[in-house]
Amino acid sequence: MKHLALICTVVPVLISLSACQPLSRVEQGASQAGQAAGRGIERAAEATGRGVDRAVGATGRGIERAVGATERGVGRAADATGRGLERAGEATGRGLERAGEKIEEVTK
């Protein structure tokens, strides 16, 4: 939009100047305006490219962090599950021992 506004501003100015200046000066001014617009477009394209590169890099880093956090979370969940299973096994073992003791008491 900025480039279109620049062109829309430059063209009427050049037309009005053409009435006051010789044709070669108008052509020279139009040429310079075109070159300036071209340089502006090139700079905008370069800045856009840099912005895209930064966005891609940031997205990649974000994905790496998310994967790392997920791996850590899964590892912690597995550890907690393992501890829970160990405790459940120990409790079951104690319960079976007590049940065995009660059975022995009753059968004496």
pTM for the model? 0.47
d(CA 1, CA 44): 12
The residue among 86 and 30 whose pLDDT is bigger is 86
DSSP percent split of the chain into helix, strand, coil, nearest 5 = 95, 0, 5
Residue 35: name the closest of 47, 27, 23 by CA: 27
pLDDT, tens only, 53-100: 999 999 999 999 999 999 999 999 999 999 999 999 999 999 999 999
